[in-house]
Amino acid sequence: MTSFSDSKYVQKVCEITQASYQEGWDERNGGNVSLRLTADDVSEFSDLNHVKRTLDLGFDASALAGEYFLVTATGRYFRNVIHQPNLDLGLVRITSDGQHADLLWGYDDGAQPTSEFPSHLMSHIERLKVDANQRVVMHCHPTNLIALSFTHELNEKSISLLLWKMQAESLVVFPEGIGVVPYMTPGTNEIGQATATKMHDFRVVMWPHHGVFGTGTTLDETFGLIETVEKAATIYSQIGAQGGQIKQSITDDQLRDLAKSFQVTANPHFLS
Ligand SMILES: [Zn+2]
């Protein structure tokens, strides 16, 4: 039997948090990640047999009862996770009443899950309704996308069209576009619920003047999704740096051709 500390799950969360930090998306204690695991996934590990602590969730997560989450700790730095995963990560199992989570591994020095854990769980609940394979929720602070929330109207259609037109890759990677919630106070159940509602239609939700929530089936896919959105926003920033005069761009017709060619369906509310 292997130890969960040596699992591919811990290793991959370490890799992704480090990569996200190196992108500049997780200054200080910014950012948090959760990876959903099933009873099957964790059955091979010998060191998950007793409950270390029970945590209060502060909302009803009964839709996820019995599911396991490997989640970053509150107040901890993405920069450090790779060096001390047993302190900065925890594996919890949602209790049958949905009000608590049993800690089975990690948070060795008394840490707690990210203050955004309720927001993560609400998003997991919503994404599971759309696609049972969705396992990851990731929050971080991509610089150029945040900048865009100051200079552009906070309108899902116009932001999605803008990002689609910044590079041919965008429409292929996020054909549904991106969702936008109003500016709200982080760490509250209100922003969690607003984000989860958007997660029904979008895998990327912008938190204006703050960051982004992304979701996907794997950590690599989710990271790549946020990376692609941020790359588009970076090109937009660079256009501004080159004087901001757009002389030619991808047209709506060319977006339609792109969707056809890559067999994706562009969000019909954004591109008819
Ligand atoms: Zn944040």
Is 73 domain-assigned? Answer: yes
Catalytic residue list: 116
Same domain? 106 vs 177: no
* Spacing, Cα 211 to ligand 1 middle (Å): 6
- Structure confidence by residue, pLDDT tens digits, 36-49: 999 999 999 989 99
Is residue 142 within 8 Å of residue 54, measured between CB atoms? no
**What is the whole-number distance in angstroms between the Cα of residue 27 and the centre of ligand 1?**
10
Task: With a cut of 80, say whether residue 1 has pLDDT above it.
Answer: no
Tell me how far apart the 2 most distant CA atoms of the chain are, in Å: 63
Together in a domain, 184 and 147: yes
Asked whether 89 and 40 are in contact (CB, 8 A), the reply is no
CATH code (residue 231): 3.40.225.10
How far are the Cα atoms of 5, 28, 29 from residue 84, in angstroms, in the given order?
A: 10, 16, 14
Q: Using CB atoms within 10 Å of the CB of residue 247, give its burial: 0 to 12 exposed, 13 to 18 middle, 19+ buried.
A: exposed
* Residues annotated within a binding site for Zn(2+): 139, 141, 210
Do residues 8 and 110 share a domain? yes
Q: Where is 93: in which H helix or E strand?
A: strand 89-94
Q: Which domain holds residue 227?
A: 141-262
Among the candidates 99, 115, 131, a domain finishes at 115
Determine the distance separating the centroid of ligand 1 and the alpha carbon of 31, expressed in angstroms: 5
Whether 121 is covered by a domain: the verdict is no
With a cut of 80, say whether residue 239 has pLDDT above it. yes
Residues 111 and 191 in one domain: no
Whole-model pTM over 0.85? yes
pLDDT tens readout for residues 21-80: 999 999 999 999 999 999 999 999 989 999 999 999 998 999 999 999 999 999 999 999
My answer on whether 175 and 252 are in the same domain is yes
Helix (H), strand (E) at residue 16: helix 8-23
In this prediction, residue 263 has a pLDDT band, given cuts at 50, 70 and 90, of very high
Amino acid sitting at position 209:
H
24: left (phi over 0), alpha (psi -120 to 50) or beta: left
How far apart are the C-alpha atoms of 200 and 31, rounded to whole Å?
22
Return the closest-CA partner of residue 114 out of 60, 59, 71: 71
Q: What type of residue sits at position 211?
A: G
Tokens 């005069």 locate to: 245
What is the 193 CA–ligand 1 centroid distance (Å)? 16
Which residue ranges are tagged as binding site?
A: 139, 141, 210
Q: How many domains does the chain have?
A: 2
CA distance 266 to 34: 28
